[in-house]
Amino acid sequence: MFTLQLINVYKNGFSYKPGTRQPGNAFTLVAEKVPCRITGTDSGNIVLFVLKKYYDTISEGIHQNYKIELVGTNLKYLVKSEPIWAGGITHHVEVDLQELVEWK
């Protein structure tokens, strides 16, 4: 159940738009195709579950304001808060997500 989906994890950086002084977001890839499970029916209760053995493959972990991209779909999420360990002693992490709206 915890490995039904795959995600790419991006950390949120800060950059300036080329040739301007306008700030912008620059997401940098941290991990690819991490097995997980995302549940929820609306933007108010979307939760990401990642088993410890897969979470440990993410070099920097998952943190607030990171971008999560569901592989094989066009779904993108923003991490709302720091992950919490659940399911016993470091069994898995649970992360609250919100739908990501990217401005072009």
Phi (first) and psi of residue 94, to 5 degrees: -120, 135
What's at 70, amino acid-wise?
A: L
What's at 100, amino acid-wise?
A: L
* pTM greater than 0.85: no
Q: How far is CA 75 from CA 7, 58, 68, in A?
A: 10, 20, 8
Q: Which of 57, 33, 47 is nearest to 86 (CA)?
A: 47
Topology annotation, domain 5-99:
Thrombin, subunit H (2.40.10)
Phi (first) and psi of residue 65, to 5 degrees: 75, 10
Q: What is the pLDDT of residues 44-99, one digit of tens each?
A: 789 999 999 999 999 889 999 999 999 999 899 999 999 999 987 779 999 999 98
Q: What is the pLDDT of residues 7-23, one digit of tens each?
A: 999 998 776 667 777 76
DSSP state of 54: H
What are the domain boundaries of the chain?
5-99
